[in-house]
Amino acid sequence: MKYNNIKRTNLLQTAALLERAAESGNTKWRQLFHIMPKTGWLNDPNGLCRFNGEYHIFFQYSPFDTKPGTNFWGHYKTKDFISYEYLPPALCCDQNFDCHGVYSGSTLIDEGKMYLYYTGNVKQLGDFDYITKGREHNLILAVSEDGLSFNDKALLMKNSDYPSDCTCHVRDPKVFKRKGKYYMVLGSRTTADTGEVLVYVSDNKTDWKLVNRLRTAEKFGYMWECPDLFFLDGKEILAFSPQGIEPEGFKYNNVYQSGYALLQGGFTSPNCSVGEFEELDRGFDFYAPQSFEAEDGRRIMMGWLGLPDLESYYENPSNKFGWAHCLTILRELSLRGNKLIQKPLKEYEKLREKELSVENQESVWALEALISYNSPVKAEISIHGDCKIIYENSVLTLSFGKSGYGRKSRSVRLQSLEEIRIFCDSSSVEIFVNGGEEVFTSRFYPENYSGIKPRENYEALKIWQLKGFEYI
């Protein structure tokens, strides 16, 4: 089916006008080295891929408001993860089958083309619960020859094509090629209110056949969003974002979770079992991560530095300036035993502009700190006076005062403290512990920037002022 060109042109022109207006606006709390749109709302990263020597980063983008609504796919590309080109939205809601949102999805690069798979969201008008009735989640494919124009959209599957015991919530296709076949995982909510992942196979990228359903032995939440299936050291890893999990001590404290489980038995086998779920992040703001493979074989992941449905928990005060949210920095993944390790991309070392002393950080917004420890009993770091990282009784805690806008504290049990690496932008902090064994990702909105100050028991310390990303 061809694009509805008039609708598309109108939507894109309005978005461009808003973006231009935003350029002259208030820059308070805008991030220097995190991907964000010029205006409006951002959520999940989508379609991360390498195509013709460049990396493409798409994201859920609603230019008309600071809440999700008219979700497009916003678009950046980069060669080096340091300088970025901002492009017009790649996909917008211009068809009947995606009129209430071009929802999350992925890209497959194959035979010189870029294939974008996503969920077309439709909310029918009427008195519906929008879970078992009233919502359409369509599987759509758009193909691009050049990674810049996305001309055709094809409807590949609709709700009646998914298993009959699934609710209307079946979305977020992640497609990949393996041993000559194409596979797709889709997140789903069953009519028994359990979350699971549907696994499909295809020979031709358009006709898909269900081969498996990945679920835990015991119910684990009512919906699994944004599944991602990838391979590291010969192991199969399923990342997903489950909803409906109750807090358990330090675990599962956010409104929704994101994490991973190792698969045993092969993802297409009916005997495949989903191992223990492990959270990817211990902070307040991390969701819907997606991974891709870099040219040199590295598996790289990035998430949304935010969460849906936060309003009753904490705030994002940038809303009053007409924008909300950004993506996390990119993290290289590896396995230590069965545990996923996340390390900031080594390319970010190029952001280091100059080394600073502890006393000399006044009014610097973009900072990196590397602090080494030798298994202390206690340690403390303060960031801009209002954010605290405290290690005590084998527990590491991140907490905020006023700058957290409702974010109080999050903790993880940690046997021993060896290293803390902090990436701080104008309104976010990402903390990599013991070489990426644990990560805390969070927004916070400081009024003053006094710097990163370790208080006790550290062995070595380096602090850098970072450059922002370059936009071309």
> What is the set of active-site residues?
44
Task: Give least dist CB 142 to ligand FRU, A.
Answer: 15
- DSSP secondary structure code for residue 73 in this structure: E
Beta bridge partners of 77: 56, 85
CA distance 129 to 350: 50
Q: Which is nearer to ligand FRU, 119 or 427 (CB)?
A: 119
Q: Which is nearer to ligand FRU, 306 or 404 (CB)?
A: 306
**SS3 at position 66:** coil
Binding letters toward ligand FRU, positions 27-46, x by CB under 6 A: ----------------xx--
Q: Which is nearer to ligand FRU, 104 or 442 (CB)?
A: 104
Beta bridge partners of 142: 116, 153
Q: Does the CA dihedral 71-286-86-119 come out positive or negative?
A: negative
User: CA-based diameter of the chain, in Å?
Assistant: 65
Interacting positions 8-27 with ligand FRU (CB under 6 A): none
Task: Give least dist CB 220 to ligand FRU, A.
Answer: 17
CB 70 within 8 A of CB 64: yes
Task: Give least dist CB 227 to ligand FRU, A.
Answer: 10
CB 103 within 8 A of CB 90: no
- How far from 96 is each of 6, 20, 104, 398, CA to CA, in Å? 14, 29, 17, 45
Q: Which is nearer to ligand FRU, 120 or 451 (CB)?
A: 120
Among 61, 73, 97, 103, which residue interacts with ligand FRU (rule: CB under 6 A)? 103
Q: Which is nearer to ligand FRU, 92 or 463 (CB)?
A: 92
- Quote the distance between the C-alpha of residue 16 and its chain's center: 24
- Tell me the window of 98-106, 109-117, 412-420, 443-451 that interacts with ligand FRU (CB under 6 A): 98-106
Q: Please compute Rg for the chain using Cα positions.
A: 22
Q: With b meaning 16 or more CB within 10 Å and e meaning fewer, what string describes 200-214?
A: bbbeebeebeebbbb
Q: What angle do CA 242, 255, 59 make, to 5 degrees?
A: 70
CA distance 194 to 202: 26
Amino acid, res. 31? Q
Query: Helices in 71-165 by DSSP H: which ranges?
Result: none
CB atoms within 10 A of CB 69: 14
Interacting positions 118-147 with ligand FRU (CB under 6 A): 119
Confirm or reject binding of residue 308 to ligand FRU (CB under 6 A): yes
Residues in contact with ligand FRU, counted by CB under 6 A, come to a total of 16
- How far from 340 is each of 100, 187, 240, 296, CA to CA, in Å? 35, 21, 14, 19
Task: Give least dist CB 98 to ligand FRU, A.
Answer: 11
Task: Give least dist CB 109 to ligand FRU, A.
Answer: 21
Confirm or reject binding of residue 216 to ligand FRU (CB under 6 A): no
Q: Which is nearer to ligand FRU, 170 or 371 (CB)?
A: 170
CB 72 within 8 A of CB 93: yes
> Percent helix, strand, coil in the chain (nearest 5)?
10, 50, 40
Q: Which is nearer to ligand FRU, 238 or 389 (CB)?
A: 238
Among 171, 205, 215, 325, which residue interacts with ligand FRU (rule: CB under 6 A)? 171
- Strand arrangement of the beta sheet that strand 113-123 belongs to: 102-110, 113-123, 135-144, 152-157
Task: Give least dist CB 241 to ligand FRU, A.
Answer: 6
Task: Give least dist CB 465 to ligand FRU, A.
Answer: 33
CB 31 within 8 A of CB 426: yes
Interacting positions 47-76 with ligand FRU (CB under 6 A): 60, 68, 71
- Tell me the window of 6-14, 99-107, 191-199, 349-357 that interacts with ligand FRU (CB under 6 A): 99-107
Q: Which is nearer to ligand FRU, 281 or 368 (CB)?
A: 281
Confirm or reject binding of residue 237 to ligand FRU (CB under 6 A): no
Task: Give least dist CB 417 to ligand FRU, A.
Answer: 32
- How far from 405 is each of 115, 287, 322, CA to CA, in Å? 40, 19, 17
Confirm or reject binding of residue 172 to ligand FRU (CB under 6 A): yes
- Tell me the window of 96-104, 106-114, 144-152, 373-381 that interacts with ligand FRU (CB under 6 A): 96-104
Q: Which is nearer to ligand FRU, 60 or 190 (CB)?
A: 60
The phi, psi pair for 375, rounded to 5°, reads 45, 55
- Tell me the window of 77-85, 88-96, 100-108, 412-420 that interacts with ligand FRU (CB under 6 A): 100-108
Task: Give least dist CB 289 to ligand FRU, A.
Answer: 11
Confirm or reject binding of residue 78 to ligand FRU (CB under 6 A): no
Amino acid, res. 225? E
Binding letters toward ligand FRU, positions 253-292, x by CB under 6 A: ----------------------------------xx----
- DSSP secondary structure code for residue 172 in this structure: E
- Residue ranges that bind ligand FRU, judged by CB under 6 A: 43-44, 60, 68, 71, 101, 103-104, 119, 171-172, 225-226, 287-288, 308
